[in-house]
Amino acid sequence: MAEATYERVYVWQAPVRMYHWINACCIFVLVATGLVIGRPPALMSAGEASDSHWFGWVRFLHFSAAFLMSFAFLVRVYWMFAGNQYSRWDAFIPRNWTRLKTQWREMVNVLRIDILQLEKEPIDYVGHNGLAAFSYFGIFLATIFQIITGAALYAPMSTFWLPGLFSWVPPLMGGEAIVRMWHHAFTWIFILFTMIHVYLSIFHDMTEGRGEISSIVNGVRFVERK
Amino acid sequence: MSERLTIWEQARTLGHSRRDFLQFCAWLAAAAGIEASQVGQVVQALETKPRIPVVWFHFQECTCCSESFIRSSHPIVSDIILDKISLDYTETLQAAAGHAAEAALHETMKKYHGEYLMLVEGSVPTGADGAYCCIAGRTALDTVKEAAEGAKAIVAWGSCASNGCIQAASPNPTGATPVHEIITNKPVIKVPGCPPIGEVMAATIVHLLTFDTIPQLDRVGRPMAFYSRRVHDTCYRRPNYDAGLFVESWDDENARKGFCLYKMGCRGPVTYNACGVTKWNGGVSFPIQSGHGCIGCSEENFWDNGPFYNHLTNLPGFSIETTADKIGVAAGVVTAAGLVGHAVLTSIRKRDVINETKK
């Protein structure tokens, strides 16, 4: 790579970074507790029920993290309309036909250059590249799905009106057993997403040296000065 | 058809004392979930209201609902309910047969148009123009439409009439259809279960009898008094669930100790019914108490949401015994392999870039 000068660009505003980390923690807790709830390990099988409440606590953690994640998500949705150009809704959803075509070209480019590495010279995106934006849109949808199905499953054990708003979901999906199955299946989307997401962040950081990893802490990326 | 007596009058002619009658009213009130202060209303209703004419149909079913109903614990229930309502037609229990039975049915439908109670046991096959279930030369589909037209209220007994039950299991060869999908212009009270609890059936009728109104129903049309709580939440084994004490296999020590059957596929957490409270056979037991998990027989599609002995149901479109976890792990392995492959590719193709960055 030839000599180049870089400038610091403030890309990820504070609410975006905070959402990212709150979300990351919540996903970690929710996946871990969710898998335990789906298939509890055989712990302390010799005890008496009155001695222990560990499974109750696992579920409590799951529900707490779920509420935190849901409200953080609502704030993030608000920020999609209040934030800068990198965090706005149209950074994820193409707002018109031209943007859709641009995003499509970007996605093809990312596939060619970053994934298949047919060309060596990296492409420089200030915010998300087209493929990343698309996958985040997907994960937003998966988050909405998990919030709705989770609230629907939580509603019968709660007197809180908020999850009760989603009690129409089980009859629609064909019973709570089905909702449970899909809620569980979608867990894997988050697991796979996290694997790929973390790997690609490290990949970009190492091959491009534009502060990919540190940008989600301090919000700043390095962009080549034209 | 004789003059319609009230239930009190009927009881008197059968030789019951006033005390018997009042006891019966109090018991009915309790069974229907009516509070003690309203027992007077029950007494008044049974004293003054004529017996409701009832027609009870049997279509695609196994008669387990009827069997459950006549075994409802308090002997007086089957007795009195069968006596007190004017059960004018029911294939299983009626004395009449053939033309006489059909005549009784049609007389009731004509004479008490708009007043009779219609109870349906069994689903209605809609395939082949309804030819899979014919009674007296007519299809169930015809009969149900005709009878519903003049019915005051419709009760769908059991999972067949409420949800279709096992004959509606994929691929549903006869097109078995629950009543509410055929009769759409009248409220259908669903009393699902395979069978429903006898006391629950009796109490549902008592409510209709006493108040002349449809009991409070939930979102899918089941009486709230019996179907608003999950079996899991009323299960006496629930503390074991919260403590994480599970049966790991059918013959282990935990099973003997009566731990939670969650890991054995118990559907209690996804099933709405009164089994944990009312229990069966006069409060003797219910499946979980007998050591077997709930199979969710009162829930829609329980027959297709297998396997019964796994907590997670199968992912649709995949083979039997394929849970989301198996597919998830496979996808995880593929993804991990892809990432490792990409990392290797990167370290070869972009070695110079990475090294340059390091300077």
Assigned domain for B263 exists = yes
Do B262 and B285 fall into the same domain? yes
Q: With beta carbons under 8 A apart, name residues in chain A contacting B269.
A: 176, 180
Helix axes A130-154, A54-82, angle to 10 degrees: 130
Q: Is the pLDDT of residue B1 over 60?
A: no
Query: Averaged over A153-161, what is the pLDDT?
Result: 88
pLDDT tens figures, B316-329:
766 666 677 888 88
Residue B123 in 3-state DSSP? strand
Using alpha carbons, list the distances in angstroms from residue B198 to B157, B203, B214, B275: 11, 9, 19, 11
Using alpha carbons, list the distances in angstroms from residue B7 to B86, B165, B353: 10, 35, 93
The total number of structural domains in chain A stands at: 1
pLDDT band for A226, please (50, 70, 90 cuts).
low
The total number of structural domains in chain B stands at: 3
Kindly give, in sequence order, each residue whose CB lies less than 8 Å from that of residue A82, ignoring residues fewer than 6 positions away. Answer: none
pLDDT band for B359, please (50, 70, 90 cuts).
very low
Do B287 and B343 fall into the same domain? no
Tell me the average pLDDT of chain A. 88
Q: Which pairs from A28-35 meet CB under 8 Å and 24+ separation?
A: A29/A61, A29/A62, A29/A65, A30/A62, A30/A65, A30/A66, A30/A69, A30/A146, A30/A187, A30/A190, A31/A187, A31/A190, A31/A191, A31/A194, A33/A58, A33/A59, A33/A61, A33/A62, A33/A65, A34/A62, A34/A184, A34/A187, A35/A187
ipTM: 0.83
pLDDT tens figures, B99-138:
888 888 888 888 888 888 899 999 999 988 888 988 888 8
pLDDT tens figures, B248-303:
888 888 888 889 999 999 999 999 999 998 888 878 899 999 999 999 999 988 88
When scoring A112, A146, A181, A203 by the number of chain B Cβ atoms within 10 A, the one with the most, hence best to mutate, is A181
> Quick one: pLDDT at residue B82?
64
> Quick one: pLDDT at residue A179?
92
Do B121 and B163 fall into the same domain? yes
Do B105 and B175 fall into the same domain? yes
Do B59 and B206 fall into the same domain? yes
Assigned domain for A6 exists = no
> Quick one: pLDDT at residue B319?
64
CA distance A210 to B147: 76
Which domain does B100 fall in, by range? Answer: 50-226
Do B114 and B233 fall into the same domain? no
> What DSSP line would sit under A125-151, residue for residue?
-SS--HHHHHHHHHHHHHHHHHHHHHH
When scoring B227, B270, B308 by the number of chain A Cβ atoms within 10 A, the one with the most, hence best to mutate, is B270
pLDDT tens figures, B149-201:
888 899 999 999 999 999 999 899 999 999 999 998 888 999 999 999 988 88
Q: With beta carbons under 8 A apart, name residues in chain A contacting B349.
A: 117, 120
Tell me the average pLDDT of chain B. 85
State whether residue A3 sits within 8 Å of chain B by CB: no
Do B165 and B264 fall into the same domain? no
> Closest to B270 (Cβ–Cβ): which among A53, A171, A176?
A176
Helix axes B351-358, A176-208, angle to 10 degrees: 70
State whether residue A178 sits within 8 Å of chain B by CB: yes
**CATH number, position A119:** 1.20.950.20
Assigned domain for A92 exists = yes
Assigned domain for B164 exists = yes
Q: Prior bond to B75 cis, omega within 30? A: no
Residue B86 in 3-state DSSP? strand
Query: Averaged over B347-353, what is the pLDDT?
Result: 76
Most confident segment among A207-211, B147-151, B209-213, B317-321: B147-151
State whether residue B255 sits within 8 Å of chain A by CB: no
